Structure 1
Amino acid sequence: MSRSSSGIVAGLTAAAVAVVGFLAFQASANVPDTLGKPTKAAPSSLPAASGGAPAQKPKNPTALPADSGSGMRVVYALADRRVWLVDEKGRSTRTFTVMPSTVNPTPGSYTVTSRSGSVTGSDGVRIEHVVRFTTVDNVAIGFSAAVDGTLTSPDPTLKTGGVRMRVADGNAMWTFATVGSKVEVIP
């Protein structure tokens, strides 16, 4: 590189740095005084020093829902797409997410009516550890795991009742939910 071209590069670099510095100065000069400072809440929104309501904690998505029955049971929350396995003392021993099917049970109390070790689901997928607990519109509703481990959304054009879970969760469900076990379905 010749001396004149290196001088041009140095000049352009210096000009670019100067422009960036000027723009940074302008930006900082236009920042509101309150930016970065804590805002004061209106007095009416602060809890009273004594006797005020405690601040709401965010909902724990894995916590066993209140009003989900009692005793040993499987709890299936439709909206949360989550299942809890609950022991006889009312403690959740395992919780996991599931993929609901196209046909869902109505909220209520059920019992496990039948089980199958390995079958082909109504969607044509090979499944295992099938735990059935009700029928809706002639569609059997139950928990199962796809043998290949997939957890995909069901085809909305099919009437299926399999609530799918991961293989490890299916193994736990199979061990936990024998025929006659309680299943509580909540909204």
Structure 2
Amino acid sequence: MKNQDNHYVIPVFSKVNKLKRLLWQIVWTLFCRWTPAPFYFWRTFIVRIFGGIIGKHVHIYPSCKIWAPWLLIMDDFSCLGPGVEVYNPGGCTIGQYAIVSQNAYLCGATHDFDNENFTYVKKKIVIEAHAWICAKAFVLPGVCCGEGAVLGAGAVSSKDLEPWSVYAGNPAKFVKPRNNFKKQ
């Protein structure tokens, strides 16, 4: 395929991938989006059918948007709150007891703006055990939120978050240590 400058452009996603995502969106809309919030078991069942690796007692709210459930791993007792968007072409892992609060955005891809082809770049996001991504926070591609880390409401993280630390702002900056209740 050629663009208007007569350069060859390679599609980022195959037709099979696009078809799979379309089917996923249809199934989520028809079978999950309208379900009452407490029907977590049903929504996790549907995500598992599409290849997601989902632990026990996981909460996925009906208003979530998951781009590719087959690239999602959620450990036991983790949660994707209302309105959370998981854009995960590079994969996304959410550890035990980790919470991604309402309207947070996990963005697992970007473009190389220094490349004339504006190359698509996908990277994995890792939210480790006991981490908390607060309301409307934004996690950028390749970020690892360490065990017990907290990313404050509306904060934007473009770099890894140290374990048992609290971050806030845009860009996210270290605010203070968090009590490591696992050591007690």
Which one has the largest radius of gyration?
A: 1
Q: Same fold (TM over 0.5)?
A: no
With normalisation by structure 2, the TM-score equals: 0.23
Identify, as 1 or 2, the structure richer in helix: 1
Larger RCO (alpha carbons 8 Å, 6+ apart): 1
